[in-house]
């Protein structure tokens, strides 16, 4: 299997007049990190842990076409076991997984449709490490040309657009508003770190997950309730808990995470 992705830099807040070398290099580094970490988690079921001051001139990467700049990124699989996994997932499944990885980190809801992709996501969310947390810094790097040059970036797979990074997605990753209002909501638990008490909530079986962080140390009963909900979900049963939460949003009002104040079984 061989796949080609494209990072396309075009007009955004400002008209495209070349891609700054430093910002472009950082952006492509960020994209490379996202693809490597995400694809490794899909193929190997393992989530990896891991300014210029010149004035008066700039270095600009060359254009591939008038009015934009395009960089191809080829995925070449060399291990037969990994190839077998990739072919089993299929292109449609991989594209769904990559969209989920990219869009969840920038506040764009995406409903995963592919059955195999859903299964892999469920398995990944049961890991101690949170994939999206590992992609945060890389997503900030990808946005360098958006932040410093006012450009828009399209991540493509063939003719399919996997994600678009622009001023709105930059505001999402750079701003955080903590709301004081609290309310009870029923949520299923799709991921839980027993040590830290952090995890992810889902309102139903097919919904995108939202991260949560406890405000204070959770009681033993609260951890038990969260753990029981997660255990049921691994057996394809949606058994929610009643969670007292407050919201953390971007400056635009897009939900980023929940602060968890208490939790009781329903």
> pLDDT tens digit string along 86-95?
999 999 999 9
64 lies in the same domain as 102: yes
**Minimum mean pLDDT among 42-51, 128-137, 182-191: which range?**
42-51
For the chain, give the mean pLDDT: 88
108 lies in the same domain as 26: yes
185 lies in the same domain as 139: no
Q: Residue 126: phi, psi to the nearest 5? A: -90, 0
What six digits make up the tokens of 121? 């996501």
**CATH code of the domain covering residue 186:** 2.40.50
Give the pLDDT band of residue 55 (cuts 50, 70, 90): very low
pLDDT above 90 covers what percent of the chain? Answer: 55
Task: State the pLDDT at residue 67.
Answer: 65
Mean pLDDT along residues 42-62: 58
203 lies in the same domain as 106: no
166 lies in the same domain as 190: no
SS3 79: coil
74 lies in the same domain as 113: yes
Query: CA 37 to CA 28: how far, in whole Å?
Result: 14
Mean pLDDT along residues 11-24: 92
125 lies in the same domain as 214: no
Residue 20, beta-bridge partner list: 60
63 lies in the same domain as 183: no
More confident residue, 180 or 3: 180
Task: State the pLDDT at residue 194.
Answer: 81
What six digits make up the tokens of 148? 């410093």
Give the pLDDT band of residue 45 (cuts 50, 70, 90): confident
Which of 124, 155, 174 marks a domain boundary?
174
pLDDT at 260 over 60: yes
- pLDDT tens-place string over residues 145-158: 999 999 999 999 98
pLDDT above 70 covers what percent of the chain? Answer: 92
Question: pTM for the whole thing?
Answer: 0.85
Task: State the pLDDT at residue 50.
Answer: 53
Task: State the pLDDT at residue 60.
Answer: 54
Which of 146, 174, 202 marks a domain boundary?
174
Give the pLDDT band of residue 131 (cuts 50, 70, 90): confident
One-character DSSP codes across 14-71: S----EEHHHHHHHHHHHHHHHHHHHHHHHHS----------S---EEPPSBTTBEEE
Which of 174, 193, 224 marks a domain boundary?
174
Burial, 1: exposed, middle or buried (Cβ in 10 Å; 0-12, 13-18, 19+)?
Answer: middle
Q: Which domain holds residue 229?
A: 177-265
45 lies in the same domain as 14: yes
Query: CA 140 to CA 30: how far, in whole Å?
Result: 8
12 lies in the same domain as 126: yes
Task: State the pLDDT at residue 123.
Answer: 86
12 lies in the same domain as 109: yes
215 lies in the same domain as 146: no
Total tally of structural domains belonging to the chain: 2
- pLDDT tens-place string over residues 205-247: 888 889 999 999 989 999 999 999 999 998 889 999 999 999 9
């Amino acid at each position: 299997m061989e796949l080609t992705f494209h990072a396309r830099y075009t007009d955004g807040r400002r008209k495209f007049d070349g891609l700054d070398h430093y910002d472009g290099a950082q952006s492509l580094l960020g994209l490379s990190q996202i693809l490597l970490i995400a694809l490794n988690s899909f193929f190997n079921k393992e989530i990896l842990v891991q300014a210029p001051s010149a004035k008066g001139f700039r270095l600009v990467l060359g254009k591939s076409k008038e009015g934009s700049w395009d960089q191809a990124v080829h995925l070449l699989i060399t291990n037969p076991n990994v190839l077998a996994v990739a072919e089993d997932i299929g292109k449609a499944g991989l594209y769904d997984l990559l969209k989920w990885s990219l869009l969840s980190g920038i506040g764009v809801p995406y409903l995963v449709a592919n059955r195999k992709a859903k299964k892999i996501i469920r398995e990944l969310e049961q890991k101690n490490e949170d994939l999206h947390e590992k992609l945060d810094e890389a997503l900030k790097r990808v946005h360098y040309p958006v932040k410093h040059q006012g450009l828009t970036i399209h991540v493509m797979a063939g003719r399919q657009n996997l994600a678009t990074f622009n001023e709105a997605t930059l505001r999402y990753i750079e701003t955080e508003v903590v709301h004081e209002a609290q309310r009870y909501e029923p949520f299923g638990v799709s991921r839980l770190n027993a040590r830290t008490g952090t995890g992810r909530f889902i309102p139903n079986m097919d919904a995108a997950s939202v991260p949560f962080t406890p405000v204070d140390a959770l009681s033993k009963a609260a951890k038990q309730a969260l753990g029981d909900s997660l255990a049921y979900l691994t057996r394809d049963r949606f058994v929610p808990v009643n969670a007292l939460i407050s919201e953390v949003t971007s400056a635009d009002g897009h939900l980023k995470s929940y602060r968890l104040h208490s939790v009781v079984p329903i």
